[in-house]
Amino acid sequence: MSRKPFVREVSKTGWYFKHPRYLRYMSREVTCVFIGAFALLLLCAVERLSEGQAAYESFLAALQGPWSVAGLLVVLVFAIHNATSWFNVTPKALPVQIGEEFLPGKFIVIAHYAVWILATLLILYFAGVR
């Protein structure tokens, strides 16, 4: 008997609309664009800082315009989505075995949030926010 297996075509684009879990994945992956854009902004900040106080202050003033604030808020939303979605899957990558049992994943997730809050407070402290 002759064999003639049929291969179904897979859409190279658009496959992520086929199931909510793929869209969820893409929403996590797309955050990298915004995180990358913010990293470039930080590089610009360093560059302006190297040009002197006046240059840096005009850069900071430009960031306080309504469009800049709106853009930064969008970046913040994506950055939080990036951080939380990765925190929530960390127990899969870093299971902690104690004797015959595994530490429940929620403790590993909570530890990440705790370190995040601590780091944020430290940065705010050193930034002079009291």
Give me the residues that bind other proteins (CB under 8 A), please: 1-8, 10, 12, 15-16, 18-19, 21-22, 25, 29, 89, 91-95, 97, 99-102
Q: Measured between alpha carbons, how far is 112 from 118 in angstroms, rounded to an integer? A: 10
- Closer CB to other proteins, 50 or 97, in the complex: 97
Q: Under a CB-based contact definition with an 8 Å cutoff, are residues 31 and 81 in contact? A: yes
- Closer CB to other proteins, 42 or 93, in the complex: 93
What's 130's DSSP letter?
A: -
Nearest-approach distance from CB 105 to other proteins, in angstroms: 10
- Closer CB to other proteins, 9 or 46, in the complex: 9
Q: Is the dihedral of CA 83, 84, 85, 87 positive or negative?
A: positive
Nearest-approach distance from CB 21 to other proteins, in angstroms: 5
